[in-house]
Structure 1
Amino acid sequence: MSSVPERGDIDEAYKWDLDSLFASDEAWQTAFEQARDSLDDLRAYEGRAAEDAATLTELLETYEQVMRQVANVGAYARMRRDEDTRDDDAQALATRAQSLGSEAASAASFIEPELQQLDREDIEQMQEEKPALEAYDHYIDDILRMKPHTRSAEVENLLAELGEVTGASGEIYNMLANADMEFPAVDDPDGEPQPITLNNFTTLQKNPDRAFRQRVYETFYDEWEDVRNTVGTSYRNSVKADEKLAAARDYDSSREASLDGPNIPTEVYDTLVDTVRDNLDKLHRHGDLKRTVTDGEDLKMWDLYVPLVTEESPEVSYEDACEYVTEAVAPLGEAYQSRLAEGLDSQWVDVYETKGKQSGAYSGGTYDSQPYILMNYQDDVESMYTLAHELGHSMHSELASEAQPYVYADYTIFIAEIASTVNETLLTHHLLETVEDEQLRRHVLNQYLERFRSTLYRQTMFAEFEQRTHEMSEAGKPLTPDRLDELYQELKGDYYEPAEVDDRIAREWMRIPHFYRAFYVFQYATGISAAVALVENIRDHGEPAAERYRNFLESGSRGYPLELLDDAGVDMTDAATVQSALDVYGEYLDEFERLV
C-alpha cells in the first residue's frame, strides 16, 4: 500500500526555503506588527492625494513601501499554511495575514477616488513639477480609466473592509476540500488498498485497469455527493458576492466587472467560447481515439484521462524533469535558461505531496523574495509539465521584478498564463525532437494532446459554466445543487459527445477550486492560444522573436495586456489566434494517428 508521507519525512532539499521572506515565525510576527503600524503612515495622506505634486509623490512611494511589507507578511503566512492545512498555528498566521491585507486595502481605499478628482491635464502638470511622477503614468492612467466604476472614499473603504467576508466562500471550500474531506481507499488491481487524494485522483484515472478506474471514479464522486449541500451553498454565495460587488461598482454583470480590471473586452471571452464551440469535432475525435484503447466499445467518464498509449507511462524523476525543462527553454536565451537552472538549485520548489499539504500547484513569492513553487510531484510526465508551467510563472515574476519598479512588477492572470504555457510548448518541441526513447515520445505526444484537451477545451467549458451560473443568479434564478448538476452535465455532454455522460460526472463542478475566483479559468485557454503563436514565432525567427518575448515578460504590468501582447506579435482580439492553436491540436492528432 502506497502512503502519503508526513512533511518531516521529506529531505530539506525538496522543500522551499522561506528564509528569503522570514527566518522564523517569530521574525514574521515582528514584521506583521511593523506592517500593521505602517498603515497609519498611509492613512495620514487621506484627503490629501490631489493636494500637489510633492504630496502625491510621497503618497505613492509610501503606498508602495506599505504594500510590499503587507505582501511579504501575507505570502509567508499562506505558504506556511499550505505546507500543512491541518496545522492550527499556520492557519492562524494565514488568517491574521488575510485580515491585515483587508485592513491595508481599506487604508489605501481613498487613493483611487481622490486621484479620480483629477483629469489628465492635472496629472501632466504635476509630472512637469515632479518628474518622479512620470514613473506612475500608466498606474494613474489605469485609475482614471476606472473612474465610472469607483465609488466614494467612504464606500470604497467599506468594500475593502468587506474583503474577508466576500472571500469567505472560497476559504470555507478550501478547508473542506483540503483539510476535512478524506476519501476511502480502493483496492488496486493487485488487491492492495490504494488511498485516493485530491492530488492523485487524475493519476489514478489513467491506470490501464478499466475496472479499477471505475472504482476510483465512483468512490471519489460519491464522497462529493455527501457534501453537495455545503459546496452548493458555498458556490452560490461566491457567485452572489461577485454579483453584488459588480452592482456596487455599476457594472452590468459580474463578468464585465471581472474582465474590466485587466481591461479585457468581453468580446475576447465570447470569441474564445464561440471558436472552441466551432471546433468541438476535434475534441470528439480525441474521444474516439480514447475509445480504441479502452476495454469496451463505449467511452465512459472514467476513460477520459486514459492515455492514448497502452504501455505504462515512463517514470520521470524530479531530477530528470528539471534537466528536461532547463534544456527546453534554450530558445529563450542563455540568460533566461541559466536563471531558471539557478532557481531550481535554490529551493524555489516545494516538491512532493505530504499529508495535509495544499493540493495542486502554484507559483508564489513577492517582489522582495525569490519565487516559490508549490508542487505535489508524482514522478510522471504530467508532473514534469506542471513543473514547466509553474517555472514559466516564476521566471515571469523574476524578470518583471528585476526590470520594473514595484508598481509594475505584478501582472494580470491573462498575461501570466501565457508565460507558463510557452514553457510547456517548448518542452513538447524539445522532447519530441531530442528524445530517442519511443515510449517517452509517445507519452509526450499524448501529454501535449491532453494539455490541449484540458487547457483549451476543458477550461473553456468551465468558462461557459461560470458565465451561465452568473447569468442565472443575475436573472434571479436559484443556484441549487440540482440545477448546478444539470447545467454541468449538459455542458459535459456537449464537449464530450462520444462519451456516456452519467450522473456522477454532474458533480465535477464541486471539485474545481478555480470557480471561487470568478472568470479566471478562461485565461488558461487564451493563454495556450497566445503561447502557441509566440513559440511558433520564436522557432521561425529565432533570437529577435525571443527578445520580443523576453521584453514582454520584463514589462510586467507597464501596459494593458492586449497592448503588451500586440508588441510581442500576438493579437488576442482575432479569432484566428485561437483557431491557429486548435489547428495545431488537429495536426498533433494526425501525428499521433501516424505514430501508432
Structure 2
Amino acid sequence: MSTDNKIITREEIRQEDKWAIEDLFTNDEDWKKEYALVKELCEKLQAYKGKLGESATVLVEFFNLLFKAEYHFERVYVYANQKYHEDTANAIYQNLADQANGLEVSLKSASAFCTPEILSIPEATITQFLASNEELELYRRILEEISRKKAHTLSAGEEALLADAGEVLGAPSNIYSMFNNADIKFPDIMGEDGDKVPVTHGRYVTYMESKDRRVRKEAFESVYSSYRSMKNTAASLFASNVKASMFAAKAKKYDSTIAMYLDDTDVPVEVYKNLIDTIHANLPKFYKYVALRKKLLGVDELHMYDVYAPLVSDVDMKYTFDQAREMVLEGLVPLGERYINLLKEGFDNRWIDIYENEGKRSGAYSWGAYGTHPYVLLNYHPNLDNVFTLAHEMGHALHTYHSNETQPYPYAGYKIFVAEVASTCNEALLIQHLLNKIDDKKQRAYLVNHFIESFKGTVFRQTMFAEFEMLAHAKAEEGEALTSEVLCKIYHDLNVKYYGEDMVIDSEIDMEWAKIPHFYTPFYVYQYATGFSAAIALSRKILKEGEKAVEDYIGFLRGGSSADPITLLRGAGVDMASKDPINEALALFEELVDELEELTK
C-alpha cells in the first residue's frame, strides 16, 4: 500500500495485491499471437460478404466465425487495456491498447456488411432458415434484434465506412483518458498534520472527508484550479465527443443522440426522462438533508467542499482491506452459500488489483473476458466508502460470473441498464447487515448517514449528471457551441437546482463536468440511479422473502442479454418502466434523513 506522503510505483506493490492478469495471457507474446489470430479471422469474415442469404448453413457458419473473432478480440482488448490501466504512463501498454483499439475498428469493418445483408434477406427466408437448421436457433434473438433496428441500419458500404471511422470517433475519449489519468497534476496541499501531501484522484475523496475544513477547501481548490487552467482543452474534448455522438446518431437516422444510446440498450427514452422528472418532484427531500448537513456541521455557510465532511464526530470507521473482505462476506450471506463461496474464490485467487500506484487508472471497475474469471480494479483506501466499493465491484464481478457460466458467448454480455443493479444490491445488503449489528447511537448515525450519502451520490448526483448530459447534447444539436463558459453555466445552474438555497455553489464546482470520465460514454450515468432504485427494491425482497427471492435474483444474474433489460428485471420482481421503484427508494431516503435527525439530537 502507498505510504502517507508518497505514491508508490507498480513494482513496489506486493504480487498478492495485484490481479492475476496472467490468467488471461501468460505474457505479451501470447497476446501478440491472439492479436494475429483476430486479424486472420477478420479476413475470413470478408469471404462471407454477399453470401449470407444463400442458405441456413452459410448463415450459421458466418455467425460461428463472427463470435469466434469477437471472443478472441475481447481477450486481446481486455488484456491490453487492463495492463495499460496498471500504469497509464507505461509506453508499452499504451501501444498495445492503441493496437487493440485499431483491431476493434478492423473487426467492425470486416463484419459491417452483416446487418444490412441480413436485412436484405426476405423475412420468409429467415423463418425457413430457422425452421430447417437447429444450430441457427442459437442466433434467433440476434436476428430479432437486427430486425428491430432495421430503420437505423445503413447499407453495407455505409456501415463499413462508419466502422472505419470508429477509431477517429473514439479519439476524444482516448485523449481525455490520457489527459485525466496521466497528464493532469494537482498542486500539493498541507495535510492535517501540517506536512505537504500530494493530491491525486485516489486521495481526493479521502481529503474531502477530512474533519479539517482547511484540508477539504485546499484539496477542492487544488483539483478544480487545475481543471480550470485547462478549461478550453477540457471543453474542446467534451464538445468533440458530443459531436462524434451526433455524427453517429445522424448517420444511423436517429432523432437525437439520447435516442441512439438508449435504443442500443433497448430502453425507452421515457425511462430516462421519468427518472429526471421523478427526482425533480422529490428534490424537497434532498433539500431537507442539505439543511440537516448544514445544521450538524454548525457552519454559517455550507460549501461544496463540505459535501463529504463527516457529520458524526468521534466515530472513526477505518478498515484494512482484509477487514473489508470479511465485512463483505458477512453482509452478503443472505445471497446464499454458493454466492459466498464464489466471493471467496475471487478474494483468494487474485481477481482484484487492490491498491493505488503511480500512474494507475483512477476509480474502480469490474471487467474481464468470457472464459476467464472477472477482474476488479480498486484504488483501496482504508475507509467505509472503500468497503462499499469492494462490495459494489464484486457485485459486478459475480453478475458477470453467473452470466458467463449460464449463457453462451453471444448472450453473456449484459446491458448497461442492468449492470448497476447487482453491484448496488450488494451495497444495500451490506448496509442493512451493518445497521442490524450496531447498537451504538453514534455509529448507527454514522452508518445511516453513509446510506444517505449513497442515495445522494447514486440517485440525486447521477441524475444531475444525466440531466447535464441531456442538456449539453440538446444544445449542441440545436447548433450551440459547447464552450467552457456554456458548459460551466449549465453545470452551475443544475447544482443550484439540485442542492437548494442552503448550499453555497462555489464557482470551482462549475468545472466538475471536466472531471467525470463517464461523460465519455454518453447517457450511461442515469443507469446508476435507476439501478440503485431497482437494487433497493430487490434487496428488500431478498431480506423479506428469503430463498424464493434469492432464486429469482440469481436467475436475473444468469440472464445476460437473453432478454431486454426491463423484462429481465420484471422476472426478478421490479418494473423499471414505472416510476414506482424510484419513488419507493426516495421514500426510504426520507425515512433515513428523519432517523439521522433523531439520532443526532
TM-score by length of structure 2 reads 0.97
Q: Is the 8 A contact 1:119 1:144 kept in 2?
A: no
Q: Is the 8 A contact 1:15 1:351 kept in 2?
A: yes
**CA offsets, 1:273-328, max 9 Å, x none?**
00001111111111112112335211011101112212353211111111111222
Q: Corresponding residue for 1:516?
A: 520
**CA offsets, 1:468-523, max 9 Å, x none?**
00000000011110111111000001111120112111111110111111000000
- How is 1:68-217 mapped onto 2 (pairs within 5 angstroms)? 68-217=71-220
Q: Is the 8 A contact 2:315 2:443 kept in 1?
A: no
CA distance in 2 between partners of 1:383 and 1:438 (Å): 23
Q: Is the 8 A contact 1:290 1:306 kept in 2?
A: no
Q: Corresponding residue for 1:434?
A: 437
- Tell me the secondary structure at the aligned position of residue 449 of structure 1: helix
- Tell me the secondary structure at the aligned position of residue 293 of structure 1: helix
Establish whether residue 539 from structure 1 lines up as the match of residue 580 from structure 2.
no
- Tell me the secondary structure at the aligned position of residue 250 of structure 1: coil
Shift of 1:435: 4.2
Shift of 1:426: 0.7
Shift of 1:104: 0.7
- Tell me the secondary structure at the aligned position of residue 373 of structure 1: strand
- Tell me the secondary structure at the aligned position of residue 376 of structure 2: strand
CA distance in 1 between partners of 2:91 and 2:376 (Å): 23
Q: Which 4+ runs in 1 deviate beyond 6 A? A: none
Q: Which runs of 5+ in 2 are unaligned?
A: none
**CA offsets, 1:107-140, max 9 Å, x none?**
1111111111235443332121101111211121
TM-score by length of structure 1 reads 0.98
- Tell me the secondary structure at the aligned position of residue 352 of structure 1: coil
Structure 1 counterpart of 2:255, which letter? D
Equivalent residue in structure 2 for 1:45, among 48, 69, 73: 48
Q: Corresponding residue for 2:582?
A: 578
**Identity rate, percent:** 39
Structure 2 counterpart of 1:177, which letter? N
Q: Corresponding residue for 1:549?
A: 553
- Tell me the secondary structure at the aligned position of residue 377 of structure 1: coil
CA distance in 1 between partners of 2:530 and 2:200 (Å): 29
Equivalent residue in structure 1 for 2:566, among 562, 565, 577: 562
Q: Is the 8 A contact 1:489 1:506 kept in 2?
A: yes
Shift of 1:536: 1.4
Equivalent residue in structure 2 for 1:292, among 290, 295, 298: 295
Shift in alpha-carbon separation, 1:161–1:313, aligned structure 2, 3 A: farther
CA distance in 2 between partners of 1:114 and 1:440 (Å): 62
Q: Is the 8 A contact 1:313 1:443 kept in 2?
A: no
Shift of 1:434: 2.4
Q: Corresponding residue for 1:529?
A: 533
Question: Aligned-pair RMSD on alpha carbons?
Answer: 1.3
CA distance in 2 between partners of 1:346 and 1:438 (Å): 38
- Tell me the secondary structure at the aligned position of residue 278 of structure 1: helix
Q: Is the 8 A contact 1:110 1:156 kept in 2?
A: yes
Structure 1 counterpart of 2:254, which letter? Y
Q: Corresponding residue for 1:278?
A: 281
CA distance in 2 between partners of 1:446 and 1:203 (Å): 17
Q: Is the 8 A contact 2:489 2:510 kept in 1?
A: yes
CA distance in 2 between partners of 1:576 and 1:361 (Å): 30
Shift in alpha-carbon separation, 1:149–1:547, aligned structure 2, 3 A: same
Shift of 1:190: 2.1
CA distance in 1 between partners of 2:440 and 2:109 (Å): 57
- Tell me the secondary structure at the aligned position of residue 170 of structure 1: helix
Q: Is the 8 A contact 2:8 2:358 kept in 1?
A: yes
- How is 1:61-460 mapped onto 2 (pairs within 5 angstroms)? 61-435=64-438, 440-460=443-463
CA distance in 2 between partners of 1:485 and 1:339 (Å): 45
CA distance in 2 between partners of 1:163 and 1:527 (Å): 29
CA distance in 2 between partners of 1:427 and 1:49 (Å): 50
- Tell me the secondary structure at the aligned position of residue 199 of structure 1: helix
CA distance in 2 between partners of 1:298 and 1:185 (Å): 26
Establish whether residue 471 from structure 1 lines up as the match of residue 495 from structure 2.
no
**CA offsets, 1:565-596, max 9 Å, x none?**
11111111111111001111111112222222
Q: Which runs of 5+ in 1 are unaligned?
A: none
**CA offsets, 1:256-277, max 9 Å, x none?**
0110011111110011000001
Shift of 1:188: 1.7
CA distance in 2 between partners of 1:496 and 1:441 (Å): 25
Structure 1 counterpart of 2:360, which letter? K
Number of residue pairs matched? 596
Shift of 1:206: 1.0
CA distance in 1 between partners of 2:125 and 2:265 (Å): 24
Shift in alpha-carbon separation, 1:436–1:320, aligned structure 2, 3 A: farther
- Tell me the secondary structure at the aligned position of residue 299 of structure 2: coil
CA distance in 2 between partners of 1:187 and 1:293 (Å): 26
Shift in alpha-carbon separation, 1:38–1:440, aligned structure 2, 3 A: farther
Structure 2 counterpart of 1:421, which letter? T
